[in-house]
Amino acid sequence: MAALELPGMEGRGLGERGGLKVVELFIGAQHPASGHMRLIVYLDGDIVVRVDPDVGYVHRTVEKLSEMREYVRVISLIERMTIIDACNVTLPYVEAVERLLGVEPPPRARYLRTILCELNRIASHLYGLAIGGIFLNHSTMYMWAMGDREVWLHLASMLTGARLTHTYPIFGGVRRDLPQGFRDAFEKARRYMERRLREYDAIFYNNPVVRGRLEGVGVLPRDVAVSVGATGPNLRASGVAYDARMTGYAAYGELDFEPVVGREGDALERVWVRLREIEASMELIERALREMPEGPFFAERYAKTVPPAVRHWLEKGRVKLPGGYVRLKTRPGEVLARGEMGRGEVTYFLVSDGGMKPYRLRIVTPSARNLVLFDVLSRGHTLMDVPAIYASIDYFPPEGDR
């Protein structure tokens, strides 16, 4: 069949079905969207009638693998669903296990968790904006956002010791305290990013070519957004003031958090929400650094079990986990926990039988929930609008496929 080329995609025609032309679009591993994705598009002429997202090419069996690992070993496993947003995806799981263990993290640990979550959110949004630039043939946006993302990855590395997969929140606290020089490094990064966001508005958001591709495209009305279960910036861009951080987990309940909410619900508004959420995240980090209480960053219940030979690391602001930590047993029960990732709400349903491993772990990621938007938003638009709609959804294949 005839080959097709679209921005960020390759495809081929599959002939006709039921009087409609069928086109197969590929977003493959060579593409920065990080994973295989296939869209089956049904066309009436050049108008999209239906889109069937075909997932399953990067399935990682995270839920089943979690049932074969001790609770603490699951943390580093579930990070792999969304490597670019590691703390936001793991924190709800950690808090769910803490409820089964009956342990509370110290106040300082809750603030440190919040700081890393917001660092990850900024990096995740920059990643999504970069990929959006590729889908629109805006290579400058791709290079700018990917380059600026390194600033926030460096701060995350300063805090955790790891660039991407931090495994930072642990049961009862975090693995490291705030390092010396972090506050100054953040202030420098914030001043830089505030200037860059003004440039982003000029060269990308207010670019007449970009606006021509995104404005009025893929409109998601408020009632439809709620009925199909959209989440994250895609939901808030349609005027729905909901964000899982409003539930007050970590330190969000003490930081007067308010979500960024749009009105138009089109592809351009979804980009606007992400740009403004970067600003909101920087404000949250600044407030958390200013209001963070002194004290321990690891629960005394577990700190006292650290062997004397490595306890000096705890005094230096780092945790060397005791051997018994791997063999922690929770009480039997069921827990539902949720948190807000860069792409939306992630939900965990954890079942414990009283052993050292989860009996069942069910994960619903934001990309899995937003998958329906490929069809809902594309209907009635032209085939060339599909890349723009994909860009605005900020879909991450490994996260949706789990």
Question: Based on the domain organization, do 132 and 277 belong to the same domain?
Answer: yes
Structural domain tally of the chain? 2
% of the chain exceeding 70 in pLDDT: 96
Question: Based on the domain organization, do 137 and 226 belong to the same domain?
Answer: yes
Question: Can you tell me the mean pLDDT for 208-224?
Answer: 94
In a domain? residue 342: no
pLDDT digit string, tens, across residues 322-347 = 778 888 999 999 999 999 999 999 99
Question: Can you tell me the mean pLDDT for 121-149?
Answer: 92
Question: Based on the domain organization, do 292 and 168 belong to the same domain?
Answer: yes
Specify the pLDDT at position 48.
Answer: 94
Specify the pLDDT at position 59.
Answer: 76
Residue 325 phi, psi (nearest 5): -65, -30
Specify the pLDDT at position 80.
Answer: 86
Question: Based on the domain organization, do 18 and 130 belong to the same domain?
Answer: no
33-38: long-range contacts at Cβ-Cβ below 8 A with a sequence spacing of 24 or more?
33/8, 33/131, 33/395, 33/396, 33/397, 34/84, 34/396, 34/397, 34/398, 35/396, 35/397, 35/398, 35/401, 36/397, 37/395, 37/397
In a domain? residue 352: no
Question: Based on the domain organization, do 46 and 120 belong to the same domain?
Answer: no
% of the chain exceeding 90 in pLDDT: 72
Domain that holds residue 47: 3-54
In a domain? residue 369: no
Alpha carbon distance 86, 161 (integer Å)? 13
Question: Based on the domain organization, do 36 and 127 belong to the same domain?
Answer: no
| 131 against 348, higher pLDDT | 348
Listed residues 39, 54, 69: the one ending a domain:
54
Question: Based on the domain organization, do 203 and 275 belong to the same domain?
Answer: yes
Listed residues 35, 54, 73: the one ending a domain:
54
CATH number of 238's domain: 1.10.645.10
Question: Based on the domain organization, do 7 and 135 belong to the same domain?
Answer: no
pTM of the model: 0.94
Alpha carbon distance 396, 370 (integer Å)? 10
Render the burial of 358-380: b for 16+ CB within 10 Å, e for the rest: beebebebbbbbbbebbbbbbee
Question: Based on the domain organization, do 161 and 309 belong to the same domain?
Answer: yes
Question: Kind of pairing, strands 333-341 and 169-170?
Answer: unpaired
Listed residues 12, 30, 54: the one ending a domain:
54
In a domain? residue 31: yes
pLDDT digit string, tens, across residues 205-214 = 999 999 999 9
Question: Based on the domain organization, do 24 and 140 belong to the same domain?
Answer: no
Question: Based on the domain organization, do 276 and 148 belong to the same domain?
Answer: yes
CA distances, 249 to each of 94, 158, 338 (Å): 11, 24, 9
The pair of three-digit structure tokens given for residue 97, joined into one six-digit string? 């296990």
Query: Are residues 173 and 106 in contact, defined by beta-carbon separation less than 8 angstroms?
Result: yes
Query: Are residues 5 and 23 in contact, defined by beta-carbon separation less than 8 angstroms?
Result: no
Question: Based on the domain organization, do 140 and 233 belong to the same domain?
Answer: yes
Specify the pLDDT at position 314.
Answer: 81
What band does 35 get if pLDDT is binned at 50, 70 and 90? low
In a domain? residue 109: yes
Question: Can you tell me the mean pLDDT for 139-165?
Answer: 94
Specify the pLDDT at position 315.
Answer: 80
Specify the pLDDT at position 28.
Answer: 61
Question: Can you tell me the mean pLDDT for 177-181?
Answer: 94
What band does 2 get if pLDDT is binned at 50, 70 and 90? low
Question: Can you tell me the mean pLDDT for 280-289?
Answer: 97
In a domain? residue 302: yes
In a domain? residue 370: no
pLDDT at 296 over 80: yes
In a domain? residue 86: no
